[in-house]
């Protein structure tokens, strides 16, 4: 196994973000930008990650404390070469070194491995890209033979150099021994008064090294984020990438531009997802799933053939095969729906285990309850599971029927085939196959006159 050290620069303040949050902690697809870079770096087997922090270092260190990274603080931000200098004591002498950036979050694993493969005894790797508009980037200067000679920052470039459209991305790979030798030779004699890491290219050429140019698969891989507009563009680029991966795996999206994934989404085949759906955490979809517009699914497992109608929210729950949910259903954490269940419009469940074939069609709250198979819950049924201090459980047996507008005051149990008449308030258990009726006696007053409106 080749020894590899990966330095990730994450010290910048990000003034243009107009935020108290360090720039690298602003989120893409539900994760800090820095986390995306670390995830890509983790694809290098045995790679040692060294993260250089600076502004808001305490927040950055807290955010990545579980990532098995060496964290080094850069007290003064004096340029990229100075930031890399902070990592020198932690480099292994026989390592290949890859330099990445915490605010360039879409770098791919494929590009990382190509960069490392470009490093050899007399070669280093440089990630470049040709842009129609290279404004703001350092230009890659080549000699007449096409060899890379140097990188010139825009503020230091001549008019002819400004016409160059091949730009430096900042991503660099080279041997640790070369990096240790050349870094001290970099000065800050430039327009910014900073120590530029890009000066390594000229030093490499002066020492007889060839610079191998690697190009990324797409421009989005190397775009840095400096303000919230660029953050939004990067978010859309990432979401489109995730959408395309999902479609290639067998899911139809009504509009890939109106799809959001913030976490891990696994899916079978022949699924359909309508517009404006959001997936968070870890979500698993079976096959043949239909999801209507404006749905929000978090940390849940959805079985085969499930239909989720519009505006339905599902959190930390499991939905059995061929069930129908919504529209406007809210499935709260701890819900487990069996096969062929139905949870209709304006129904809310919480810690509810619902057996196969059971139906809660509309306008009900089912909390801290276990329902057997083929139970029918009428409209407006409420389970009163909370007494102001503790939560209590409700048990409903197979085949039971609860009429509309019923109130079940937990703890209470309804036996198999039990029947609760509509409008009842239940405070006692109902035995199997029994009918429970709990209503005040109806009284009709003949000849009653409606109140008349008084004149002002």
The distance from CA 192 to its chain's CA centroid, rounded to whole angstroms, is 37
Is residue 436 packed enough to be buried (19+ CB in 10 Å), middle (13-18) or exposed (0-12)? buried
Q: How far apart are CA 344 and CA 363, in angstroms?
A: 8
Residue entry with tokens 């954490």: 333
* Residues with Cβ within 8 Å of residue 62, at least 6 apart in sequence: none
Establish whether 392 is a catalytic residue: no
**Counting Cβ atoms within 10 Å, is residue 31 exposed (0-12), middle (13-18) or buried (19+)?**
middle
DSSP-assigned letters across all residues of 155-218:
GG--HHHHT--EEEEEEEEEEHHHHHHHGGG----STT-S--TTHHHHHHHHTT-EEEEE--SS
- Collect contacts of 324-333 with beta carbons under 8 A, ≥24 apart: 326/292, 326/295, 327/292, 331/300, 332/367
Tokens (6 digits) for 1: 């196994």
Instruction: Choose, from 26, 36, 82, 362, the residue flagged as catalytic.
Output: 362
Spatial distance between the Cα atoms of 351 and 328, rounded to a whole number of angstroms: 18
Residue pair 252/269 in contact by the 8 Å Cβ criterion:
no
Supply the residues annotated as catalytic.
Answer: 362
């Amino acid at each position: 196994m080749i020894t590899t050290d990966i330095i990730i620069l994450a010290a910048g303040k990000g003034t243009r973000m107009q935020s108290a949050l360090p720039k690298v902690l602003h989120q893409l697809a539900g994760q800090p930008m820095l986390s995306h870079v670390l995830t890509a770096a983790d694809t290098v087997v045995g790679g040692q990650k060294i993260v250089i922090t600076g502004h808001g270092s305490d927040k950055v260190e807290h955010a990545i404390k579980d990532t098995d990274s060496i964290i080094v603080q850069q007290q003064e931000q004096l340029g990229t070469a100075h930031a890399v200098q902070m990592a020198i004591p932690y480099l292994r002498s026989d390592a290949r070194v890859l330099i990445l950036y915490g605010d360039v979050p879409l770098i791919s694993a494929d590009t990382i491995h190509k960069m490392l493969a470009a490093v050899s005894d007399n070669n280093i790797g440089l990630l470049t890209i040709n842009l129609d508009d290279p404004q703001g980037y350092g230009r890659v200067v080549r000699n007449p033979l096409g060899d890379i000679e140097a990188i010139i920052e825009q503020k230091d470039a001549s008019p002819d150099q400004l016409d160059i459209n091949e730009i430096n991305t900042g991503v660099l790979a080279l041997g640790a021994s070369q990096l240790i030798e050349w870094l001290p030779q970099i000065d800050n004699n430039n327009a910014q008064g900073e120590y530029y890491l890009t000066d390594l290219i000229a030093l490499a050429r002066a020492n007889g090294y060839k610079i191998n140019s690697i190009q990324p698969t797409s421009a989005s891989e190397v775009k840095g984020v400096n303000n919230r507009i660029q953050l939004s563009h990067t978010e859309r680029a990432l979401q489109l990438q995730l959408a395309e991966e999902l479609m290639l795996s067998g899911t139809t999206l009504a509009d890939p531009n109106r799809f959001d994934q913030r976490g891990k989404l696994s899916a079978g085949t022949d699924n359909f997802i309508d517009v404006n759906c959001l997936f968070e955490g870890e979500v698993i979809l079976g096959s043949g799933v239909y999801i209507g517009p404006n749905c929000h699914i978090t940390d849940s497992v959805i079985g085969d053939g499930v239909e989720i109608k519009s505006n339905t929210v599902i959190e930390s729950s499991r939905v059995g095969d061929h069930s129908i949910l919504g529209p406007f259903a809210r499935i709260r954490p701890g819900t487990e729906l069996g096969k062929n269940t139905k949870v209709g419009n304006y129904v809310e469940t919480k810690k509810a285990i619902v057996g196969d074939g059971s139906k809660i069609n509309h306008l009900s709250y089912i909390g801290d309850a276990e329902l057997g198979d083929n139970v029918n819950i009428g409209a407006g049924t409420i389970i009163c599971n909370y007494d102001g201090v503790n939560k209590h459980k409700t048990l409903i047996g197979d085949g039971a029927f609860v009429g509309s507008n019923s109130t079940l005051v937990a703890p209470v149990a309804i036996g198999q085939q039990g029947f609760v008449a509509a409008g009842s308030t239940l405070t006692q258990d109902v035995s199997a196959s029994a009918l429970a009726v709990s209503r005040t006696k109806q009284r009709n007053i003949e000849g009653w006159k409606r109140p008349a409106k008084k004149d002002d």
